[in-house]
Amino acid sequence: MPATFTSFYFLCFYACILLIYYLIPAKTQWFFLLSASIGYYMLTGNGILILYPIAASAIAYGAIRIMAGTQDGKRRKRALCVSLVLLIGTLVVLKYINFGVHTVNGIASLCGAQGAVWKGFQFLVPLGISFYTFSILGYIVDVYNQIAAPQMNFLKLSLYGMYFPSVLSGPILRYREDGEQFFRPHPFDYRQVTFGLQRMVWGFFKILVISERMNLVVNTVYDNYTQYPGSYIWIATVCYAFQLYTNFSGSMDIVLGMSQTFGIHLPENFETPFFSRNISEYWRRWHITLGVWMKEYVFYPLLRTDAFQKLGKKLRGRFGKKKGKQLTTFLAMFLLWFAVGVWHGGDWKFVIGSGLLHWFYIVSGELADPFFKKMMERLSIDPKSRWLDAFRILRTFFLANIGFVFFRASSAPDAFRMLKAGVSVWNPEVLFNGSLFTLGLDVIEAVIAIVSLLILLTVSLLQQKGAVRERIEKKKLPIRFMIWYALLFYTILLGYYGPGYSAAEFIYQGF
Amino acid sequence: MTREEVFATLNGVFQDVFDDESITVGEGTTADDIEDWDSLEHINLIAAVEQEFGIKFSMGQVVTMKNVGEMADIIMSQIKD
């Protein structure tokens, strides 16, 4: 069975699970979800790899039991450290060891070495390892910090680690907020189930109708960028921004909607990020659970280490209170953004495109802020003006797109070459002479894509004023039915299924 | 130190950290009420409060305190100890 939620077999699997979930005694629902999660994991990939999430849950269980059973600080710390080393070690070995090998080989080749200095490793990487590892790591740290209740039932802990809707693509969970609801009985609630299904349809619309269409244009240009320089690259990059957003946020709509049908509420991962006015805000609205995780378990602890406290004191003494504080924060942010980049994948294109580039944006923004404030004062520009906000939104979108070039290109050097090709060739005429219709979408397909993007934009704008599903719920029955059935049939009829139907793989699933 | 005195001192710390003398904090003040109180400034604020009161927040307290009232509760409990 394909792992993707849009595959026909998965939908049959989900329909059976949902039906049985509400037929069995409510007290046993959590155990059934665990069985379904194990079944899903085993059916969707190499079954033996399920040992990894089981081992991760077992490590967490051992550490949590030790921490819950003692007040001895040293013993608790030892349990924390051993479990963190084992979990992070597994992640590093499976996902990042080749990053180190390739980096060393790259440096060696720059120094004139012939061929690879070190050989890479071939590992079978379990699906969703970055997501479930982070959910489990956060929980262990929270138990250590005594802000989450220790879960003493191994099977329940395993469900938290392996819950099938979120195990492959998130959101990254926090046990102290999301964990206990998995084990509560969830009697059938018509509103919750219909709300969940509606959200799933919205997710399918985003993925099948928009993301898959954008994918065609993106592949054409990114796989042959030497033939498609200048405007083509920018058009394809904007398409990629929408492809990635609709794919990832659409998969989150399906995950959150599916969970809602089980009576489980997971944290939101997106909040219309392309409406952000600066990069910091963008990261508070894009992949929210990763940002919160990084803040709580990397950034704050890092700034509170003795080393950083001493460094902060030194820098404040040398550069003054404000600048010293700023420099310390920038340094910690550099490590934070490096970690964010690495989380996305062991490749410099991720480290730059999803990490250090954004660090650079935020730091330059902070440093340039006083200058811009003064400039606006002199030019009598109202900082709260709508036009300025529109400009800020466009600027942030553009900056994010530069990052997407790295994210989508096959390597960091390729991304640099593409950016160069994007600015060195001036061919705006391709926007108007019909050339764009040769990139994979003909006129009709392009019209469907544009209309669908307009629907997305309209709904996103409505979301700024409150929950759209609740507003639709207040409408009369025929209108309600018309809206949801129109969306359903629009998705079924116009969804791009690609050859073989299960082409809609989630981009973030690889992480 | 009374609770009022704790809040009076906190006012000074907040004004200093956020560079805004008009800030007055109360029991229910949250990050939403102060424009510059984002995740970056939160940790600087924590450090400044710790220094001012000679206390140490645990990592759990740093990430879970919901408003200034909770911050004052922790400060009061640590001062009493």
Instruction: Check CB contact under 8 Å for B60 and A145.
Output: yes
Q: In whole angstroms, give the CA distance from residue B48 to residue A394.
A: 36
- pLDDT tens-digit series, residues A404-459: 999 999 999 999 999 999 999 999 999 999 899 999 999 999 999 999 999 999 99
Same domain? For A246 and A375 the reply is no
Does A326 lie at the interface with B, CB-CB under 8 angstroms? no
Co-location of A176 and A46 in the same domain: yes
Interface contact A299-B39, CB threshold 8 A: yes
In a domain, A240, yes or no: yes
Which residue from B25, B19, B34 is spatially nearest to B6, judged by alpha carbons? Answer: B25
Instruction: Using the predicted structure, report yes or no on whether residue A367 has a pLDDT greater than 70.
Output: yes
Residue with tokens 């990487």: A125
Question: What is the extent of the structural domain holding A357?
Answer: 275-403
From chain A, the residues in CB contact with B15 under 8 A are none
DSSP string, A291-338: HHHHIIIIIHHHHTSHHHHHHHHHHHHHH-HHHHHHHHHHHHHHHHHH
Number of domains within chain B: 1
CB of A300 less than 8 A from some CB of B: yes
Domain shared by A69 and A169, yes or no:
yes
Q: Work out the end-to-end distance of chain A between its first and last CA atoms, rounded to an integer number of angstroms.
A: 20
Distance of CA A356 to the CA centre of its chain: 17
| pTM for this predicted structure | 0.91
Asked if B43 and A299 come within 8 Å (Cβ–Cβ), the reply is: yes
Peptide bond into A171 cis (omega under 30): yes
| pLDDT grade for A506, boundaries at 50, 70 and 90 | low
On whether both A94 and A225 belong to a single domain, the answer is no
Q: A296: which chain B residues are within 8 Å (Cβ-Cβ)?
A: 63
- Domain residues for the domain of B55 are 3-80
> For residue A505, is pLDDT > 60?
no
Q: Quick one: A144 and A13 in the same domain?
A: yes
- The packing angle between helices A412-424 and A231-261, to 10°, is 130
User: Could you say which DSSP state residue A341 is in?
Assistant: H
Please give the distance of CA A118 from its chain centroid, rounded to a whole number. Answer: 32
Inter-chain residue contact A329 with B44, CB threshold 8 Å: yes
ipTM > 0.85 for the complex: yes
Domain boundary among A188, A213, A229: A188
A1 in any annotated domain? no
Cα dist from B4 to A503, A504, B25, B28, whole Å: 63, 59, 11, 14
At A509 the pLDDT is: 57
CB of A463 closer than 8 Å to CB of A272: yes
Q: With contacts defined as CB-CB under 8 Å, which chain A residues touch B59?
A: 141, 145, 300-301, 304
How does pLDDT run across A12-52, given as a tens digit for each residue? 999 999 999 999 999 999 999 999 999 999 988 778 899 99
The verdict on A285 touching B (C-beta cutoff 8 Å) is: no
**Last-in-domain residue among A169, A188, A207:** A188
Chain segment B10-57, per-residue pLDDT in tens: 999 999 988 888 999 999 999 889 988 888 889 889 989 998 999 999
Distance, C-alpha A191 to centroid of its chain: 28
Give dist(CA A121, CA A104) in Å, integer: 14
Q: Hey, what amino acid is at A460?
A: S
Residue A510, domain member (yes or no): no
pLDDT at A1: 64
The reply to whether residue A304 touches residue B43, judged by beta carbons under 8 angstroms, is yes
The reply to whether A417 and A315 lie within a common domain is: no
Q: What is the pLDDT of residues A244-296, one digit of tens each?
A: 999 999 999 999 999 999 999 999 999 999 999 999 999 999 999 999 999 99
To the nearest whole Å, the CA of B5 is away from the closest chain A CA by 25
Considering the domain architecture, whether residues A328 and A310 belong to the same structural domain is answered as yes
pLDDT tens readout for residues A324-366: 888 999 999 999 999 999 999 889 999 999 999 999 999 999 9
Chain B residues lying within 8 Å of A141, measured CB to CB: 59
Per the structure, the count of domains in chain A is 3
Q: Answer yes or no: is A511 within a domain.
A: no
Per-residue confidence band for A124, with pLDDT thresholds at 50, 70 and 90: confident
Selected for mutation to probe chain A from B32, B61, B63 (highest A CB count within 10 Å) is: B63
pLDDT at A501: 47
* Nearest residue to A346 (alpha-carbon basis) of A52, A102, A49: A102
Residue of chain A minimizing CA distance to B45: A325
DSSP A353-406: IIIIHHHHHHHHHHHHHHHHHHHHHHTT--TT-HHHHHHHHHHHHHHHHHHHHH
Q: Do A147 and B60 touch (CB under 8 A)?
A: yes
My answer on whether A160 and A215 are in the same domain is: no
**Which one of A162, A188, A214 terminates a domain?**
A188
Low-confidence winner among A96-100, A161-165, A174-178 (lowest mean pLDDT): A96-100
Closest CA to A263 of A169, A205, A189, A337: A189
User: Domain with B14 in it: what CATH number?
Assistant: 1.10.1200.10
Examine residue A2 and state whether it is found in any structural domain, yes or no.
Answer: no
DSSP string for residues in B37-56: -SHHHHHHHHHHHHHHHT--
